[in-house]
Amino acid sequence: MAKYLLLKHYRGGPEPMPGSRTPMDQWTPEEISAHMAFMDHVADTLRERGEYVRGEAVSPEGTFVRFDGDGRPPVTDGPFAETKDLIAGWMIIDVDSVERAHEAAALLSSAPGAGGRPLQEWIEVREFLEYEPSASE
């Protein structure tokens, strides 16, 4: 088994499918509810298969913080990346193969959007690295 991170972007990835992406702030309350119910259904399906680890939606707002020596760390507004680069949410799955991770990502990509049409959004799939320290560490 390997863990994979499935990243949902506000907008992003290669070319979107024509007409498949109306911004969520333009969806009706019913369309938002249907989308969220579908996301819960995907999580439940993966949970039943023993593949779901965790998932969360995230806000587009945030801050950047870094270590800057002694004293208060510098904090700045941001990120100011283009909207298409912002992460909307993520899901961690633990599956037998990268092919299975791709199947799960494709299922997420079929979430309904405006008008109930599948979003066909790109889902970024990234495998978690496993680090095992050597006996000398």
Q: Residue 82: what pLDDT?
A: 54
Q: Residue 77: what pLDDT?
A: 66
Q: Residue 69: what pLDDT?
A: 78
Nearest alpha carbon to residue 91 among 130, 57, 49: 57
Q: What is the pLDDT of residues 83-107, one digit of tens each?
A: 446 788 899 999 999 999 999 999 9
The yes-or-no verdict on residue 34 having pLDDT over 70 is yes
d(C-alpha 17, C-alpha 129), whole Å: 31
Q: Residue 19: what pLDDT?
A: 56
* pLDDT bucket at 66, cuts 50 / 70 / 90: confident
Q: Are 81 and 10 in contact (CB under 8 A)?
A: no
